[in-house]
Amino acid sequence: MRNVAMMFGAISCCALSACSPSGGERIDSNLECAALISAANALVISGKAENDPGLAKRALVSSMTYLAAYAIPKGIKEAEAFEQVKSLRATLIESLTPVDIMSRARRCADRSPR
């Protein structure tokens, strides 16, 4: 269990260092990035957006990296963090176009550590 906590701590540090502005783009928070990547996946599964192979390849690791970077410093439990992602994902799907979600999710995945 200690190794898992150390791994999430290291991932969090990497994710936090990866979130810097580039070219005046809007920078999404760690929670937003986790929710955007989840929303992009949901859109692809439902057929509302085309699959992005690059995003699909990195989606799980990137999403979990952002979620850990959000939850660990705040002391948020895993179940609560996942509920927050699900809630924000639903809001994003209702309020943004699939193109916007896919674009922002890809930008998040590209910024996460490799």
The pLDDT value given to residue 70: 95
Question: Residues with Cβ < 8 Å from 31, sequence gap 6 or more?
Answer: 66, 67, 70, 84, 85, 88
Share of the chain above pLDDT 90, in %: 73
Does 110 score more than 50 pLDDT? yes
Q: How many Å separate Cα 61 from the centre of its chain?
A: 9
106 vs 10, higher pLDDT:
106
pTM of the predicted structure, to 2 decimals = 0.77
Of 39, 34, 114, 42, which is closest to residue 78 (Cα–Cα)? 34
Does 11 score more than 70 pLDDT? no
Rounded to the nearest 5 degrees, what angle is found at the Cα of 54, between the Cα atoms of 60 and 16?
50
Alpha-carbon span 66 to 37, nearest angstrom? 10
